[in-house]
Homo-oligomer: A and B are copies of this chain.
């Protein structure tokens, strides 16, 4: 095999392992993740995985990067394809709920699970997750700020306050859907933001009709 061939095969293996590890982490926890468990699930040798990650912590950090890349592809980028303002703000919420509804990950949401798992455990993993949480709230706040600046929302609207509401409705949806039923849970999560945006939007008709 040429050097390029080995590199491609290595990259493919790496992506396959991270996909599997990400899925496992949403079920048994990021701390429950081990190289042995991932190797078993994929039917490969543990020593093969050591070529990519020297420690459990290195694997955990790689899984966080992988989860973020998936979230960017499936939630952030499609939302950014919508026009800035009210429609983009709605699209972020809608894409996120759609990601959960589609069952992309068996445990619902990697980041929500991991935040609750690590918030009280100081260390490298917790610091990285905190940076992700902060970056995500900054993103939501920016999208809300655009909507205010473009005149889509009432001038007095506080973008950080609105970002908090959007995040809260999303986190609760993924917590409750599997237990209390997906249909009512996602209906509540959509309706709550829709009702709120109707009270603060200058042109609520730009929002989709909810069934």
Does A104 count as interface, using CB distance less than 8 angstroms?
A: no
Hey, which chain B residues are within 8 Å of A31, CB to CB?
29, 32
Q: How far is B164's CA from A26's CA once the two chains are assembled, in angstroms?
A: 23
Does A196 count as interface, using CB distance less than 8 angstroms?
A: yes
Q: Are A188 and B160 in contact (CB under 8 A)?
A: yes
Chain A, residues 15-28, CB within 8 Å of chain B (1/0): the string is: 00000000000111
Q: Are A27 and B172 in contact (CB under 8 A)?
A: no
Q: Which residue of B179, B189, B191 is within 8 Å of A134 (Cβ)?
A: B179
Main secondary structure of the interface of A (DSSP, over half): helix
Copies in the complex: 2
Q: How far is B175's CA from A168's CA once the two chains are assembled, in angstroms?
A: 9
Hey, which chain B residues are within 8 Å of A115, CB to CB?
175, 179
A119 and chain B: residue at smallest CB distance:
B178
Does A169 count as interface, using CB distance less than 8 angstroms?
A: yes
A158 and chain B: residue at smallest CB distance:
B191
Q: Which residue of B113, B160, B192 is within 8 Å of A164 (Cβ)?
A: B192
Given A164-B172, A184-B160, A192-B165, A107–B120 Cβ distance below 8 Å? yes
**Closest A-B pairs by Cβ, 10 of them:** A168-B172, A164-B188, A107-B120, A168-B168, A116-B116, A130-B179, A27-B120, A119-B178, A113-B116, A168-B169
Interface residues of chain A, those whose CB is within 8 Å of chain B, are 26-29, 31-32, 106-108, 112-113, 115-117, 119-121, 129-130, 133-134, 137, 160-161, 164-165, 167-169, 171-173, 175-176, 178-180, 184-185, 188-189, 191-192, 195-196, 199
